[in-house]
Structure 1
Amino acid sequence: MARKSKYGQPSAKLSTTLWAPALYIRLSREDGDREESNSIASQRELLTEFVDTQTDMAAPRLYTDDGCTGTDFDRPDFQRMLNDLRAGIVNCVIVKDLSRLGRNYVGVGEYLEHVFPLLNVRFISVSDNVDSYLDPRSVNNLVVPFKNILNDEYARDISNKVRASLDLKRRQGKFIGSFASYGYRKDPNDHSRLLIDETAAAIVRDIFNWFIGGTSVLGIAKRLNEQGVPNPSAYKRQQGMNYCHPASDKLDGLWPDSSVRRILRNPLYTGTMVQGKNRTKSYKLHVSEAVPEEDWITVEQTHEAIIPIELFDKAQALFERDTRTAPAQPKVYLFSGFLRCADCGKAMNRKQISQPYGSYHYYICSTFKKQHSGACTKHTIRSDRLEQAVLETLRSQIALAVEMDELIAEINRSGARSRSADHLQTERAQLETERERIEQMKLSLYPDWKAGDISREEYHRLKEQFEQQQARLDTRLASLQTRIDEAQNGVDETNSFLSQFVKYRNLQTLTREVIVELIDMIYVHEGGKITIKFKFSDAYAAAQDYIRKHGKTA
């Protein structure tokens, strides 16, 4: 009688077949397989000991997938083992238990019932007492698919818990990425917190300032490459990180324009964490899909900002404008994205005319340029004349802003703002007292009705009157509160708007920066006249209103 091993299989050879075993080991970091009994070392020891007890097996080959999920079979060593099975190098697959083969009910069933039998491969699950050669019925036993279902369900449950945990961390503003974005580094004491990496942050600031100053995205990339600045992927590797990006790694450390654009578009640099932009379709299909923007998880002020929000907003506004230039042009033109035809509303095209005495540039309506018959007229204007007109108009607007700023400062010094706020506070207190008096009178109606002092009809009529009086008082109180807020905070907001103009009080030359900051759009009329629409028009009107209310004129 054959001697049995401690695993229950006969150790005596039952045939002349000498099996070439493949010991398959898998450990996942994602589906919860972290128990000591499932460690790589533990699985290897158990399977090696099992093979040593068998007399019909040759020296085994080891296949190990460490850190690979069991919900799919696209694992490096599993695929290597399949190739060896097809090549006849091995013909017996041995695993610790069914969950090591996989946690996909359909996939595991496909290998056990179709793939392995077609390849004449023997399958052994040591802990489950499954052996397709010694006991073929053990593979078809109802227990096997039931265990596979449980393994599948376990992976689904763990996946849901992991996803919920990650979403919670995202909502808490914690960083959950493997590598910090360019310009930041992970806090060594808290990997979910970002700290500024000053070396890379300086480059990020340069990128934003160059872009606002008129350098195109492609021009910024060329400038960085000319300066020998390594791209984000190369920089991370220089810092000792095991970072790999297939597309970027082919660039040999050079900056592509896509990397520059990604930095300019990333609100992370303002201190705002935006995560959850992509997700996997399911715990079985590890394919990434985009998440609708309204479902992104955004948390503000989670870390120190590299870029002020005002500068970031300016950059985003520029992306909304058509600032295209020729590929060889590293900087956008002075008025790119800020010129429109006053009649058809289309962009103005920049053209050049060469004459014996020199060349000059001019702008022309793009609708007319495309020869849309009768659609529009030229609306042409020379570039140098346009620049001079805009500069003079800006100087006038800046001078007016300086005058308004000085008037508001005088108002504040005179104490008019404080007196106005005090008067409004007194008026509000009187209205609140009156409302409380009416409330008490309304509350006394019910006892009077129950006591028989007033009729039911009188009770409802008086109650309605009191409620109408309270509604009118509530409206007046809300209006008063708005005026109080304006008196207390309105000047600060106005000064903030005025400061945008006042800081250019000595403007001598028209630059891209001043156009981006102060001008919304320039409209060119037929005959060369222009209309400039400035930014902060609402704040400008509020400043005028504030000055007018306090007896000043601007």
Structure 2
Amino acid sequence: MARKSKYEPQKLSTVLWKPALYIRLSREDGDSEESNSIISQRELLTEFADTQTDMTASRLYVDDGYTGTDFDRPDFRRMMHDLRAGIVNCVIVKDLSRLGRNYVKVGEYLEHTFPLLNVRFIALSERIDSVADPRSADSLIVPFRNILNDEYAHDISNKVRASLDLKRRQGKFIGSFASYGYRKDPNDHSRLLIDEPAAAVVRDIFNWFLAGTNVLGIAKKLNAKGIPNPSAYKRQQGMNYRHPASDKLDDLWPDSSVRRILRNPLYTGTMVQGKNRMKSYKLHVSEAVPEEDWITVEQTHEAIISSELFAKAQSLFARDTRTAPTQPQVYLFSGFLRCADCGKAMNRKTISQPYRNYYYYICSTFKKQHSGACTKHTIRSDRLEQAVLETLRHQIALAVEMDELIAEINRSGTRNRSVKPLLDERAQLETERERIEQMKLSLYPDWKAGDISREEYHRLKEQFEQQQAKLDARLASLQARIDEVQSGVGETNSFVSQFVKYRNLPSLTREVVVELIDMIYVHEGGKITIKFKFSDAYAVAQEYIRKHGQTA
């Protein structure tokens, strides 16, 4: 026996209604309740339309996984097209929230758009029917329900945003696709694992960049090797990934992708998220977030490159290393040469001779103005390279000597003997502070018990706090002295280790220039001054040797 429908057949007029059954389910609505599922909505609406004698066969419009806060939904747009074309003229939904959760826009459709198009609107759960019961659509309860639906979407949006921000602060990855070089852990999609084939390319990109290949040159090298760009690589791995620019480029690397990789701290094991956000729960337009509000968590996943290597790459972006578009390699000293007098960059020039080309540098101020603002400060490239190489070798020899002296000091135990009295004094001060803290804590029970007056309680409490403040100042000063002694070796290593590893340097390379030199200043007459990196650490190393051993 057929199940009897709960809807009674009715015929309101001679108008034959052509129903559009509109169904929507968004992620925030969830799918745990059967009453809100796509299948349930379809059965409910179909059953109603089939019982109406003044309705033709219905058309179905389904937006599965689309929010109700905006109306940019594929099947909703298709339905509106059909309404305007007269293909359908009656919209039936389960309830008002299925039409949408934007109070203003839902009201606009109900009060203006549908009436102008002579469209009948039916919401089954709220018993709204703009033709059978016009007052049900005009009732004050309709906008009130729309406000509640809107507020529900607002509340859900805030909860989702708060939940995602919490996960970001915990260092969990939030995103549909992992960045190039990583993949999602199949057992925990918020955790990143190294994707070795892509990670090898990332390492090459950083190494080539530090060796002197410019960003465009790296892109050309990757394309020459036939390596697919990040978007194409994801698609090769079976991911349904599309990037607006990738389809135009096919599998080719643009320089923007190379630059993005070189600037991304993710490859050092640091997660940086929350760079963009939606303007509001109604306006699904992304806007940039100020850098100080980004969520950064270190050591969330295995690094592909070291923090030191990343820092070197970032330092190069701060320098002017421009070369001709046809030049894939930057010059040896690009970004590291300045005029000693005006401080401007030195320009590289070429003198062509029948038997060979000569290269030299000239002050850019003189080259552009020729007005006496500065002089040539010219120097030949080969002579500059030789002078820098000899100076570097001298500095490396000095570092080797200091390394040997520091090793001898550490073997003799001088440093350990010098720090022990400081550690003993710190322990005594900490014991004294703890004793005063206990005395201060006992004051309150004594006051409440009537052993001391209120005035005595406040006077003694203030005295104890003053004594603690003095001890805190002494402890801070003492800790600084302890840190200075204990970290002495570590601080010297930032100078010594960087230079010592280039012992017996055969020739000058871009990597050596980037790692050891901060700037080279060219004086008039061809003399140069080299400002090395790690100069502060060098001073610390000298002081360490002076205090704990023989003079360097």
Unaligned runs of 5+ in 1: 448-455
Q: CA deviation at 1:128?
A: 1.5
Superposed CA offset, 1:504-530 (max 9, x none): 002111001011110011111111111
CA RMSD between the two structures? 2.7
Letter in 2 for 1:382: R
Alignment partner of 2:333: what SS? Answer: coil
Match among 182, 188, 212 for residue 214 of structure 1: 212
1:174–1:435 Cα change, 3 Å: closer
Matches within 5 A, 1:123-272: 123-272=121-270
1:6 to 2:6 alignment: yes
Alignment partner of 2:125: what SS? Answer: coil
Q: CA deviation at 1:88?
A: 1.2
1:127–1:226 Cα change, 3 Å: same
Q: Distance in 1 between matches of 2:385 and 2:124?
A: 83
Alignment partner of 1:520: what SS? Answer: strand
Residue 373 (structure 2) aligns with? 375
Match among 268, 273, 276 for residue 275 of structure 1: 273
Q: So what's the TM-score if we normalise by structure 1?
A: 0.91
Q: Distance in 2 between matches of 1:127 and 1:474?
A: 69
Q: Distance in 2 between matches of 1:302 and 1:433?
A: 38
Residue 401 (structure 1) aligns with? 399
Alignment partner of 2:359: what SS? Answer: strand
Letter in 2 for 1:170: R
Letter in 2 for 1:6: K
Q: CA deviation at 1:372?
A: 5.4
Q: CA deviation at 1:440?
A: 12
Residue 513 (structure 1) aligns with? 511
Q: Distance in 2 between matches of 1:124 and 1:166?
A: 37
Q: CA deviation at 1:484?
A: 2.5
Superposed CA offset, 1:183-223 (max 9, x none): 11111111111111111111111111111111111111111
Letter in 2 for 1:7: Y
Residue 451 (structure 1) aligns with? none
Unaligned runs of 5+ in 2: 447-454
1:260–1:440 Cα change, 3 Å: closer
Superposed CA offset, 1:18-47 (max 9, x none): 222111110001355653211111111111
Residue 342 (structure 1) aligns with? 340
Tell me if structure 2 keeps the 8 A contact 1:398–1:501. Answer: yes
Q: CA deviation at 1:478?
A: 3.9
1:435–1:162 Cα change, 3 Å: closer
Superposed CA offset, 1:436-457 (max 9, x none): 99999999xxx9xxxxxxxx9x
Q: CA deviation at 1:490?
A: 1.3
Q: Distance in 2 between matches of 1:93 and 1:343?
A: 79
Q: Distance in 1 between matches of 2:293 and 2:476?
A: 35
Residue 94 (structure 1) aligns with? 92
1:33–1:161 Cα change, 3 Å: farther
Residue 80 (structure 1) aligns with? 78
1:437–1:272 Cα change, 3 Å: closer
Runs of 4+ residues deviating >6 angstroms: 430-443, 466-470
1:433–1:194 Cα change, 3 Å: closer
Residue 292 (structure 2) aligns with? 294
1:34–1:101 Cα change, 3 Å: farther
Q: Distance in 2 between matches of 1:470 and 1:111?
A: 68
Q: CA deviation at 1:487?
A: 2.5
Q: Distance in 2 between matches of 1:382 and 1:335?
A: 12
Residue 107 (structure 2) aligns with? 109
Letter in 1 for 2:6: K
Moved more, 214-223 or 424-433: 424-433
Tell me if structure 1 keeps the 8 A contact 2:5–2:47. Answer: no
Letter in 2 for 1:114: H
Moved more, 296-305 or 480-489: 480-489
Q: Distance in 2 between matches of 1:308 and 1:185?
A: 19
1:435–1:247 Cα change, 3 Å: closer
Alignment partner of 1:370: what SS? Answer: helix
Letter in 2 for 1:93: V
Tell me if structure 1 keeps the 8 A contact 2:491–2:540. Answer: no
Alignment partner of 1:222: what SS? Answer: helix
Q: Distance in 2 between matches of 1:121 and 1:440?
A: 80
Q: So what's the TM-score if we normalise by structure 2?
A: 0.91
Tell me if structure 2 keeps the 8 A contact 1:435–1:470. Answer: no
Q: Distance in 1 between matches of 2:87 and 2:432?
A: 96
Residue 58 (structure 2) aligns with? 60
Letter in 1 for 2:528: I
Superposed CA offset, 1:233-254 (max 9, x none): 1111111111111212221111
1:436–1:205 Cα change, 3 Å: closer
Q: Distance in 1 between matches of 2:81 and 2:437?
A: 86
What fraction of aligned residue pairs are identical, expressed as a percent?
85
Alignment partner of 2:342: what SS? Answer: coil
Residue 316 (structure 2) aligns with? 318
